[in-house]
Amino acid sequence: MVDYHAANQSYQYGPSSGSNGAGGGGSMGDYMAQEDDWDRDLLLDPAWEKQQRKTFTAWCNSHLRKAGTQIENIDEDFRDGLKLMLLLEVISGERLPKPERGKMRVHKINNVNKALDFIASKGVKLVSIGAEEIVDGNAKMTLGMIWTIILRFAIQDISVEETSAKEGLLLWCQRKTAPYKNVNVQNFHISWKDGLAFNALIHRHRPELIEYDKLRKDDPVTNLNNAFEVAEKYLDIPKMLDAEDIVNTARPDEKAIMTYVSSFYHAFSGAQKAETAANRICKVLAVNQENEHLMEDYERLASDLLEWIRRTIPWLEDRVPQKTIQEMQQKLEDFRDYRRVHKPPKVQEKCQLEINFNTLQTKLRLSNRPAFMPSEGKMVSDINNGWQHLEQAEKGYEEWLLNEIRRLERLDHLAEKFRQKASIHEAWTDGKEAMLKQRDYETATLSDIKALIRKHEAFESDLAAHQDRVEQIAAIAQELNELDYYDSHNVNTRCQKICDQWDALGSLTHSRREALEKTEKQLETIDQLHLEYAKRAAPFNNWMESAMEDLQDMFIVHTIEEIEGLISAHDQFKSTLPDADREREAILAIHKEAQRIAESNHIKLSGSNPYTTVTPQIINSKWEKVQQLVPKRDHALLEEQSKQQSNEHLRRQFASQANIVGPWIQTKMEEIGRISIEMNGTLEDQLSHLKQYERSIVDYKPNLDLLEQQHQLIQEALIFDNKHTNYTMEHIRVGWEQLLTTIARTINEVENQILTRDAKGISQEQMQEFRASFNHFDKKQTGSMDSDDFRALLISTGYSLGDAEFNRIMSVVDPNHSGLVTFQAFIDFMSRETTDTDTADQVIASFKVLAGDKNFITAEELRRELPPDQAEYCIARMAPYQGPDAVPGALDYKSFSTALYGESDL
């Protein structure tokens, strides 16, 4: 008798009597029990034995052909144990002990015992089946042994709704065939005779292979042959029975039907596994493809931004001054366009690039992928470094432009002043050399000589008076050289000519004086009155020339105080005019007195005053010119005073707006910092609040535009300082850009937290608990904490930390070793500790299913099992398989799967 023991998971087999399994009921072991105990000496029903032989032989050959062999006679071909051991190796995937190759009976018995021992090692208790009976070709025992193998390796693991073995297989058949008419599967014998159940199983899984509606219940042979032929041709299920064997038997053999049906189960369950595996792979590849698109977008945006920075920096670093104010004004206007038009979009691109980078890293962490490492030179830090270089180049550029404009303005003023003074001096020196070279004293009378001496003294006085102007001309030329005036060559040439001429005049004056002094003793008389006139007229004439020069002098001021100083100096000058007028009258009186004496003494004057060329007409003409220039100077000073008052208004107007906008930006920065730390309410509430806050900031932009307009008016007026405010336009711009960047980053952090929460299944209460814990240990309220505070936080959440474990955690939350842990890194870590994600092992297992348990997969298999785009994605990235079992076209799915997760090859 055969004994089945379900409790100790043993499996037993013995030959069945004629009623083995009627109705499919009876008691069940772990996977199968017989309805009736039977004696080993009873014979099988001949029809059942025929069916078992045929079915079991086909089942064995379906596995043996994988090893390149088969059997013809089931009770003869297993007698030496060799094919029996080979069969067990194929269906189990394990290696059995090395068989004995001898032909003697003892060798055969030893081989069969090795096979039976292996079966027993799998928890199967063989009762009444011995090696000698198999070696002797006992058909009943051999079939019993094969049935035991089929039960253990083909039926045992079938489970539907926690049933197993026979009941599980029966329930699977009932469910799959339930929708079909004329099919009612209640057992593994009568229910299958008409063949409709076999056809229904195939149609349910592969409807394109069976035209079920054309089958008739009264034509079982056709039905059975159709199902068996389709299964063999398209499903790789060998034909295990003939239709006539089933139809011509009152009740088909249950074991044969179960064996046949189990092949259908494994064929279709394998397809289900392949579908499940394909779905998992598709999901993983879709995530990877999306991430790669994001990486490509980042690389492209980073390249564009870095290229723009690379092109812009040399332009900002070009500090080569232009020659004219107009050219420098154009450079200033170009810089204003850069600040107003070109840079703001790049600020937004930079901020968006950082946001995209953070979002990509979050998605990679959530999908258990390695962190994204941009191409060399395109890291966020590289972009920040480039941006810092840009701002460093930009810093001071505007100030340099304004200083250059001021320098050029000063140069133009000095150049005009040089030309004016040089023209006056050159006009004065015109003819002086010819005069000094005259030898008129050689033929002159004594009176003429005296006159010539006095005239020469007057000239020397005049020459000395002009010394100051020559020195001023040389000083202005020197200053123009030092300020790198573009026309310095012509200035230097003209200055050198004046200086050379001045030296020549000095030399000629000295020579003439020596000549006149030789005859001075001969000169006794001279017209004292004319001499006095000459001596007083010359200084007065010089004073008037200086006064006219001063009154026509150009001026440039930048403040109210400076113009008021000029007005005060001008008023002081006007106060000296009455004294000057009295001096003029006195000089003219001397001339009149000389004429009166000559007339009264009947003296005939020969020509003009021999001691000077300054006639009363010249004095009166120049005095009239001075009188005309004074009101013109008054008007020019008043116009400049009005201009400076307007400039002061512009300063106060800008300062008033800047003193509002500057503190507003600072306050908003502090509020954002406080919001990012407190984060009250749900993440959605926080996100909504932050976006409202962002809109309020954007709505404030017109105030900044107004300030830009006021700043441009100040620059156009060439106003270079403003004592009414500490805020410059540069400070306001930088603060505004930082404010926009900060609110955008804060919103991105909350969005990433929502992404993490939803992906990891973190509840709102958990998120609030995480935030409360983090804020409690964030002592400085900066939004990040050092390693000591983070260790205290972990301990508070229940972690028992040694140094090694804590160092491991720190390498996860702080991969860049900055020494700080952010809230985002903290929740990423907590979510990883409590949730599950796809792993490389799971993906490898899925690919192995698609590959039919091979260590490699082919392109054909990938195209058959996966959607086209994802199949081609895998084919393009999988390396050729290099294993010993490789075939042409084999692909290595193992290394591909591990690479998806950034792991080394397993």
Question: Among positive and negative, which fits the CA dihedral 155, 158, 163, 167?
Answer: negative
Say if residue 715 is exposed, middle or buried (CB neighbours under 10 Å; 0-12, 13-18, 19+).
buried
Q: Beta-carbon neighbour count of residue 836 at 10 Å? A: 10
Q: Can you read off the two tokens belonging to residue 70? A: 């088969």
Q: 760-829 is classed in which CATH architecture?
A: Orthogonal Bundle (1.10)
Cβ atoms of residues 180 and 195 within 8 Å: no
pTM above 0.75, yes or no: no
Q: Which parts of 429-583 are beta strand (E)?
A: none
Exposed/middle/buried for 717, CB within 10 Å: 0-12, 13-18, 19+? middle
Q: Identify the residue whose tokens are 């029809």.
A: 47
H-helix or E-strand containing 548? helix 528-552
Only one residue has tokens 């785009």, namely 869
Euclidean distance between CA atoms 749 and 784, whole angstroms: 13
Instruction: Quickly list DSSP for 636-705.
Output: HHHHHHHHHHHHHHHHHHHHHHHHHHHHHHHHHHHHHHHHHHH--S-HHHHHHHHHHHHHHHHHTHHHHH
Token pair belonging to 451: 């006159």
Q: Are 447 and 525 in contact (CB under 8 A)?
A: yes
C-alpha gyration radius of the chain: 56
SS3 189: coil
Residues 6+ apart with CB under 8 A from 307: none
CATH 1.20.58.60 fits 287-408, yes or no: yes
Q: Is the dihedral of CA 149, 154, 157, 159 positive or negative?
A: negative
> Residue 68 half-sphere exposure, CB side, CA atoms within 13 Å?
0
Q: Taking every pair of C-alpha atoms in the chain, what is the biggest distance, in angstroms? A: 189
Residue type, 630: V
Separation of alpha carbons 430 and 284, rounded Å: 98
Is the CATH number of domain 841-901 2.60.40.10?
Answer: no
Cα 715 from Cα 332, distance rounded (Å): 9
Structure tokens at 473: 């001309």
User: What tokens does 419 get?
Assistant: 């030309």
Give 11's strand partners.
124
Phi then psi for residue 243, to 5 deg, are -60, -40
DSSP secondary structure string for all residues of 567-630: HHHHHHHHHTHHHHHHHHHHHHHHHHHHHHHHHHTT----SS-TT-S--HHHHHHHHHHHHHHH
Going by the DSSP 8-state scheme, the letter that residue 522 receives in this structure is G
3-state SS assignment for residue 784: strand
In CATH, which of 3.40.50.2020, 1.10.3720.10, 3.40.50.10490, 1.20.58.60 is domain 431-614?
1.20.58.60
Residue whose C-alpha is closest to residue 612's, from 730, 768, 456, 756: 456
**pLDDT below 50 — which residues of the chain?**
1-43, 522-526, 603, 904-906
Rounded CA-CA distance 553/803 in Å is: 82
Phi, psi dihedrals of residue 72, rounded to the nearest 5° = -110, -40
Q: What tokens appear for 627 in the block?
A: 């009188």
CATH number of 46-280: 1.10.418.10
Asked whether the CA dihedral 223, 225, 229, 231 is positive or negative, the reply is: positive
Question: Facing residues of 309 across strands?
Answer: none
What pLDDT was estimated at residue 152? 81
Structure-block tokens of residue 750: 């909350």
Contact 11/156 with Cβ under 8 angstroms?
yes
DSSP state of 321: P
Q: State residue 9's pLDDT score.
A: 32
Distance between first and last Cα of the chain: 50
What number of other Cβ atoms are within 10 A of residue 386's Cβ? Answer: 21
Q: How far is CA 371 from CA 254, 364, 711, in A?
A: 58, 6, 45
Structure tokens at 285: 């590849």
CA distance to 527, 581, 629, per residue, from 585 (Å)? 20, 6, 20
Domain 646-753, CATH class in plain words: mainly alpha
How many CA within 13 A on the CB side of residue 311?
Answer: 9
Amino acid at 322: Q
Indicate the length of the chain as a whole number: 906
* Cβ proximity of 199 and 227 under 8 Å: yes
| Amino acid, res. 692 | Q
Nearest to 703 by CA among 667, 650, 665: 665
Residues 6+ apart with CB under 8 A from 66: 90
φ and ψ of 487, to 5 deg: -105, 35
Record the tokens describing residue 384, joined without a space.
């920040």
Task: Kindly compute the dihedral angle of the four CA atoms of residues 108, 114, 119, 121, in this order, to the nearest 10 degrees.
Answer: 160
The answer to whether the CB of 270 falls within 8 A of the CB of 843 is: no
123 token code pair: 């928890």
Contact 606, 535 (CB under 8 A): no
**Residue ranges matching CATH 1.20.58.60 in the chain:** 287-408, 431-614, 646-753
Under DSSP, the state recorded for 473 is H
One-letter identity of residue 670: E
Span(s) in the chain for CATH 1.10.238.10: 760-829, 841-901
Backbone φ/ψ region at 16: left (φ over 0), alpha (ψ -120 to 50), beta: beta
Structure confidence at residue 163 (pLDDT): 63
Can you say how many angstroms the Cα of residue 190 is from the centroid of all Cα atoms in its chain? 70
CA 420 to chain centre: 61
Alpha helix locations (H) across 105-151? 105-121, 131-135, 139-150
d(CA 264, CA 854): 21
320-367 residue pLDDT tens: 877 777 887 888 888 888 888 888 998 998 899 889 988 888 888 888
Q: Where are the beta strands (DSSP E) in 483-560?
A: none
784: phi then psi, degrees, rounded to nearest 5: -155, 160
Tokens of 857: 């997969």
Provide the token pair at 110: 């030893």
Give the per-residue pLDDT at 159: 62
Give residue 322's pLDDT.
75
Q: How far apart are CA 780 and CA 308, in angstroms?
A: 38
Q: Using alpha carbons only, what angle is made at residue 264 by residues 260 and 268, rounded to the nearest 5 degrees?
A: 170
Chain centre distance of CA 892: 33
Q: In angstroms, rounded to a whole number, what is the distance separating the alpha carbons of residues 27 and 33? A: 6
